[in-house]
Amino acid sequence: MNYFVGVDIGGTNSKIGLLNDQGDILKSTSIKTDSIEGVDYTLNKIWETVLEMAEELDISRDLIKGIGMGIPGPVIDQKKVAFFANFPWEKNINISEKMEEISGVKTRLDNDVNVIALGETLYGAGKGYSKSVTIALGTGVGGGIFVDGKLISGATGAGGEIGHMKLEKEGKLCGCGQKGCFETYASATGVIRETLSRLQINKTNGVYKAIDGDLNKLEAKHVFDEAKKGDEFAL
């Protein structure tokens, strides 16, 4: 039996799964992306984690035949990333080539939300429909658009980058360098930014209590968890 690796590289965390050739996820985990340490550091850390998972499952390294990666940014030819909106990495990096040098395993990639959208089209909410749009809220805001079974990527691979639609002229600065982007307001990053601002003047709420008053601990999940409990501040 052959095995494959699926990787979702996020702005904060990277999720890694080891699958068999039937598509069953045998083991999965999540690690910190630590993009500030550089692209080589992150990719090496991902491969080291894959090898640890394979060892735990008693799977030989030679049986891992492919790596598929979801990347936050426009991807060209399933190999090169034009730019990383939320990472301090250079433009036009051939991630496929780098990962193959590290692992010795054939690697292909696409925009992370395009990969999610493909999954939804084949197995999830979009199954059975000829057209679908998938929106992912995370460190940024991503989108994947399928029409008649084909992914709309556009000439530069940015066809589904709805997170960078402009909502506010000369609005807040986005990680991509532009102003007023959708993801500046609606992403986890945007939620954290707004929450931190409000916590400066309002400390009598569930969110402040959940982080024990330590603003450095704040994640968007705290806001959503407290909102589910009905906390007025979080809502």
Count Cβ atoms below 10 Å from residue 40 Cβ, excluding itself.
Answer: 12
pLDDT for 68 beyond 90: yes
What is 3-114's CATH number, 2.40.110.10, 3.30.420.40, 2.40.128.20, 3.40.50.740?
A: 3.30.420.40
Sheet holding 93-94, edge to edge: 75-76, 80-81, 93-94
CA pair distance 192, 215, nearest whole angstrom: 10
More confident residue, 230 or 85: 230
CA pair distance 210, 80, nearest whole angstrom: 41
Question: What pLDDT score was predicted for residue 115?
Answer: 87
Question: What pLDDT score was predicted for residue 12?
Answer: 83
| Axis-axis angle for helices 220-228, 188-199 (nearest 10) | 80
pLDDT tier for residue 86 given thresholds of 50, 70 and 90: confident
Q: DSSP letters along 186-201, please?
A: HSHHHHHHHHHHHHTT
Rounded average pLDDT over 111-122: 86
pLDDT for 73 beyond 80: no
Question: What pLDDT score was predicted for residue 153?
Answer: 79
pLDDT tens figures, 206-233 = 999 999 999 999 999 999 999 999 999 9
Rounded average pLDDT over 6-34: 92
pLDDT tier for residue 111 given thresholds of 50, 70 and 90: confident
Query: Which residues share a beta bridge with 145?
Result: 133
More confident residue, 119 or 129: 129
Q: Would residue 67 be called left, alpha or beta, if left means φ above 0 and alpha means ψ between -120 and 50 degrees?
A: beta
Task: Return the domain boundaries, the chain.
Answer: 3-114, 187-228
Rounded average pLDDT over 45-62: 97
CA pair distance 79, 92, nearest whole angstrom: 10
Question: What pLDDT score was predicted for residue 200?
Answer: 94
Question: What pLDDT score was predicted for residue 156?
Answer: 76
Query: CB within 8 A of 177, min separation 6: which ones?
Result: none
Whether 73 contacts 85, CB under 8 Å: yes
Minimum mean pLDDT range among 26-35, 123-132, 188-197 = 123-132
Question: What pLDDT score was predicted for residue 138?
Answer: 83
pLDDT for 139 beyond 90: no
CA pair distance 156, 164, nearest whole angstrom: 14
Which of 9, 224, 234 shows the shortest CA–CA distance to 113? 9
Rounded average pLDDT over 145-160: 83
pLDDT for 69 beyond 90: yes
Query: Which residues share a beta bridge with 72?
Result: none
Question: What pLDDT score was predicted for residue 20?
Answer: 93
- What global pTM score does this model have? 0.68
